[in-house]
Structure 1
């Protein structure tokens, strides 16, 4: 049983037994709980800490754990309606314009599914695919490094910046790299640095909902540029720059999320040329480079490695290939824009905690690191084939035009006339969480779409079972 589920179960058991004790009564010792429930001391400690955080027990060092007095007074409900005005902005002629931020598309991939639901909407590797032992060992070694708990340089540790620079390649040097708190933080910093509030920002269509949320939260206006089987369409990109006057284009040239397409070789230089002619930056979100499947073949270099003029602002992260909690990434750029990016990041967060940076350094330098990359590449390929095969057999109406050779999702096209939101709701009722395609578009979608992830489940067997449930819920002609 995973540690986090053991903690939750033990906490629930203890919570249900609290009425056996009077207020101030002492609970059994940690040793007694370990023996009774056959769990580790760490599990007991975490379960008791959870109850203490809920105000149900009190922990007295050296004395034990005691039942806390129940809360007798419920705070009176106040009137918060005034916040509707305070959270809005004055528009033209005094008109009140809502400034709400829609994080729905992001929360879908972050929220844990209900018990018994198979998670095909997640955005991270399942715990069984994460390098937990290697990360634990790296964290232990990092904690013993001299100065590991001191203040790091605001740009990041030099050794980690150098590692990211070598990973990106080309003429990118360590001085061009800033260490960030993951890829989402890097995207936020990039957009805040490059696009003033109210400015248009060109994005691929469809694209990652987290990017759309970042753009809108920054006050920018995302403008879609369609993607086909070879990536973004250069002629439409040029037309969008001309029509909007945008100075930023955000793209994922490698295993684009959600479609999985790779920007074709003939379009790579064209995208850079078009952006350069428009006096615009290309923000390259290289989120999936470490998520290439075993059969992917040689990968194209990042656009940043082929950029001589400082057009590309490159985003890279270790989070997707390791753990949601190892939030270490990088921004790479050349020219005066580096100073702007650094200033925005310092104002927002000062720096990435040094222990995390030291842990990342220990992890990527360990012999277990290349083994982990190979294991994930093989497993992702296997899971892709299992899910795609099950869909072909059980749900032929749910078309997947081109299964990708990288990333962790299939972009499925239900039958025309379907409603992807309704299909996702029906799937959830059947015990499968999938992501509807609507949040991936900042304008009207061309048709219903479903995003089916295969990295967040315990194993391939769950994928087969998920498709069986989907068939029961949606029917073979979905």
Structure 2
């Protein structure tokens, strides 16, 4: 178990230890009943006092995440987080804890594929809304005309024809670029990872929104970054707070989802986008603009991307095609320029020598045809219907103490509950009803707020959405009436 201690951080060392172990537990990196290092062992390993570790362990035990057995040691107790299956077999794997790892957390993966029938936890699109049959036909056609595609490596930078197609696609979104400045990735998640591998090391400051996309938190925490957060309002990242923070800490990277922000759905206006660029320019830092679904707007097109406003090469733009076109293809692109691009290309070579050629070739005919625009138009209509349905159910059935942001596009609705409700605990009850959602705790890099949850309306059909959201509303009513699922947030 790797715990990164940042001695110059504003967060106390006791709290850093608490949060790090909690992240390991929530990420399923520490199994039920696994023995933790003794207080003396951990204090020696981290170079901190015994009292510091004792306080962290006491808080974890107080909040129900670990248990101490006199004469035996301290053990993980995850029953408060989720129901666990009975252990199978008699083999003990406790010895594996002695094998050092460098994974501080990996929370998002456990909400991506789940066994529950009503899946509201991951921002995926209903396969029935995607052009599966057309892409199947294109793959058969391509293989019949060019069977050698399976015996060839693609370019590390990405297939040139696909890069050209993406240039034309981005131009329709008012984002000019060139094939030479595009890197094809295995989804936007790999783009985030490549940037982190290339530019972020232990102690480097990364500024993120709070809340934000959990997959990005996992990556930057894995690099040992010092993550500082800026709260989000209805217009996205609070620039007034960002300016003061950047003057004080000089970040290496600002990570933002300015269009249909994940998880809140906020859309950043052009003025604020320009302000962030000015801050990046004055502090000589990079801006990662993550754009998973700006095409999914319900009323009018969102503002132009930050990348289209960037004249000095500060923005690294990420666009994923998995959600809106073909999740199985795992295709995304990264657009930037100058030496930043060259270094990211080298990182891509070190990682995988290029994304699969077959899937790149398969989507080119669709992207370059009118079918793509027709598909996006139909997708917007279908998802707006589902979003409106969820909002209507919430209006009718949610307790008055619950509020939510009304999205103008994207795939999610963000709910805020009374501050004393812990949605990690609420999730346990939802799973008993075969329903999942994303608890807010997964979306906060540092100071966790446990009284939020994200509902994704894009994957389930209307009947499933009705059942799932209504059930969650009923669980919330019970929680408020009986004052249960109370939060046990850390206080240090």
User: In which range does the TM-score fall when normalised by the shorter chain?
Assistant: 0.7 to 0.9
Answer whether contact 2:386 2:462 (CA < 8 A) is retained.
Answer: yes
For residue 166 of structure 1, the aligned residue among 149, 165, 168 is 168
Task: Tell me how far apart the structure 1 counterparts of residues 124 and 160 of structure 2 sit (CA, whole Å).
Answer: 28
Partner of 2:129: 129
Q: 1:331 deviation in Å? A: 0.7
The structure with the largest alpha-carbon Rg is 1
| Partner SS, residue 138 of structure 2 | helix
Task: Tell me how far apart the structure 2 counterparts of residues 121 and 285 of structure 1 sit (CA, whole Å).
Answer: 20
Task: Tell me how far apart the structure 2 counterparts of residues 285 and 456 of structure 1 sit (CA, whole Å).
Answer: 21
Which consecutive residues of structure 1, in runs of 5 or more, have no partner in the other structure? 1-73, 89-98
Would the alpha carbon gap of residues 84 and 198 (structure 1) be closer, same or farther in structure 2, given more than 3 Å must change? farther
Q: Map 1:245-284; keep pairs closer than 5 Å.
A: 245-284=250-289
| Partner SS, residue 121 of structure 2 | coil
Q: Deviations over 1:123-178 (max 9, x none)?
A: 21122222211221222233234352322211111121122223334441111101
Q: Deviations over 1:341-396 (max 9, x none)?
A: 00001100100111011012122134432222111100110001000100110113
Which consecutive residues of structure 2, in runs of 5 or more, have no partner in the other structure? 1-87, 481-492
Answer whether contact 1:398 1:477 (CA < 8 A) is retained.
Answer: no
| Count of equivalent residues | 388
Q: 1:200 deviation in Å? A: 1.7
Partner of 1:218: 223
Answer whether contact 1:318 1:328 (CA < 8 A) is retained.
Answer: yes
Task: Tell me how far apart the structure 1 counterparts of residues 378 and 289 of structure 2 sit (CA, whole Å).
Answer: 26
Partner of 2:359: 356
Q: Deviations over 1:325-344 (max 9, x none)?
A: 12011111011111100000
Partner of 1:306: 309
Partner of 2:188: 183
Partner of 1:119: 119
For residue 388 of structure 2, the aligned residue among 385, 388, 392 is 385
Task: Tell me how far apart the structure 1 counterparts of residues 398 and 93 of structure 2 sit (CA, whole Å).
Answer: 51
Task: Tell me how far apart the structure 1 counterparts of residues 350 and 195 of structure 2 sit (CA, whole Å).
Answer: 13
Q: 1:255 deviation in Å? A: 0.3
For residue 475 of structure 2, the aligned residue among 470, 473, 476 is 473
Matched, 1:84 2:84: no
Runs of 4+ in 1 over 6 A off after TM superposition: none
Answer whether contact 1:202 1:246 (CA < 8 A) is retained.
Answer: yes
Would the alpha carbon gap of residues 329 and 250 (structure 1) be closer, same or farther in structure 2, given more than 3 Å must change? same
Query: When the two structures are superposed, what TM-score results if normalisation uses the length of structure 1?
Result: 0.77
Larger displacement relative to structure 2 (306-315 or 121-130): 121-130
Partner of 2:62: none
Q: 1:77 deviation in Å? A: 4.9
Answer whether contact 1:182 1:330 (CA < 8 A) is retained.
Answer: yes
Q: Map 1:328-347; keep pairs closer than 5 Å.
A: 328-347=331-350
Answer whether contact 1:124 1:323 (CA < 8 A) is retained.
Answer: no
Query: When the two structures are superposed, what TM-score results if normalisation uses the length of structure 2?
Result: 0.75
Task: Tell me how far apart the structure 1 counterparts of residues 94 and 427 of structure 2 sit (CA, whole Å).
Answer: 34
Partner of 1:460: 462
Q: Map 1:308-327; keep pairs closer than 5 Å.
A: 308-327=311-330
Matched, 1:424 2:422: no
